[in-house]
Amino acid sequence: MKRLQIIILMGVLAFSCKTPDKDTVTNSSDYNKYLTSNLENEKLAFAEGELKFWSDKFEKAPNQSTYLSKMAAANNEIFALTGQIKNLNTAAKQLTKVNEMRSTKSASVLRSLAKTKITQHQFQEANQALILADSLGENKSATQKMIFDVSMELGEYQKAGSILKKLSEKEDFDYLIRLAKWRDYNGDTEGAIEQLKLATIKAEELDSDELRLWIYSNIADFYGHVGSIDKSYAHYLKALEIDPNYVYALKGIAWITFSHEKNTKEAERIIAAIEKKHEAPDYNLLKAEIAKYEGDLAKEKELKETFLSLVSSSSYGDMYNAYLVTMLENEPEKALELAKKEVANRPTPQSYQLLSSAYYQNGNKSEALLIADNKVKGKTYEPKSLIHLAQVYKASGNEENVTDLKNELKGSYFEVGPNMTTVIKNL
């Protein structure tokens, strides 16, 4: 069964069976202890200690690329834990330098560089690093798995599928999570969840906190996609039991309190706690969504302007281009320029949807429809992309396609939130 069909079915069942008393799945007593800002973050303390240790050694022996590589790893970890963009950019520079310093290239260094470039949304550069790593022959399986990841980001789905078929470790955690990603891309969310369940068993067998943290939070996302909000919430809590400072899980719970329970005050309380632990411009967008839902348009505008100010910094590079395209309604030419850049960097159906919308903003209806028909329609199940696709069709008078998309989107209300749900209903 295709992803959207499953979502629609789950959404209909949830709507027809739930009573108002059952809409609340969260309980603040479950997660209050994770909201305090003075929780000791052992991971962060360790990463900062590592950075200082290897920085001191590198200062005394600047010809030792291994020390620089260790510094980059610490900077990447600090970014993951704090959201401080300077650490991510420093890690990228350090790994580039390590690669330059070594006369004999290292596949492991190139994979680390590629991983950092992926985080920066520099997918073409990541791909180049991985192609070189693959040619070296060192741990080709690890490289091939990352090439699969980048191929999915570049819209090279045939290549990604071919790599997946060739991977031999069918019971391997890394294989299972990639098979889940592949099935989700093909609209088979039910199959994706089954693979994630198998990956969960594998992570628990290996007794790896790192793997369990990843799988619990990701399967929580997928349960949310199909309307199993109680299971989603339970898995976010399981992730927090492993890492009390895991802001990704806290953000997931904040989304449940807002999108499912419509408890805006509680969502804001959780987000405020997250912001004391972690820096990320997009928290402003989540707060703006809440403000819009509450009818505080002045606050919504202020929060969006804060977001735009932050991500316009060169420090963030291309990381937020997709967001910017949809927000530059009053600057259609700039939106089109950014959409073209996003397609060049990441030619996926989602990026082409942005380009289609940008062309429509600029009054080029024919080009917008051409892209929508050939590059987006039937090529993605991502709800927000389908909403914008429907908007292009509606503005063009193609009511048949709008009706089809509107029906497909009925089960995505939790995933897109109450404001976009209103947009879907008004299509």
Give residue 39's pLDDT.
82
Find where tokens 């240790």 sit: 53
Sign of CA dihedral 196, 199, 200, 203: negative
Average pLDDT over residues 362-385: 94
* Run of H or E residues at 212: helix 209-225
Residue 7 has pLDDT above 60, yes or no: no
Q: How does residue 376 score in pLDDT terms, banded at 50, 70 and 90?
A: very high
Q: How far is CA 16 from CA 9, 206, 256, in A?
A: 11, 41, 19
Q: pLDDT by residue (tens digit) across 284-331?
A: 999 999 999 999 999 999 999 999 999 988 999 999 999 999 999 889
- pLDDT for the residue numbered 22: 52
Whole-model pTM: value is 0.92
Question: Which DSSP state fits 271?
Answer: H
Mean pLDDT, rounded, for 168-172: 81
pLDDT at 155 over 60: yes
Indicate if the pLDDT at residue 6 is higher than 90: no
Question: Which DSSP letter does residue 16 get?
Answer: H
Return all residues near 172 (Cβ < 8 A) that are at least 6 apart. Answer: 202
> Of the candidates 147, 148, 235, 241, which has an alpha carbon nearest to the alpha carbon of residue 199?
235
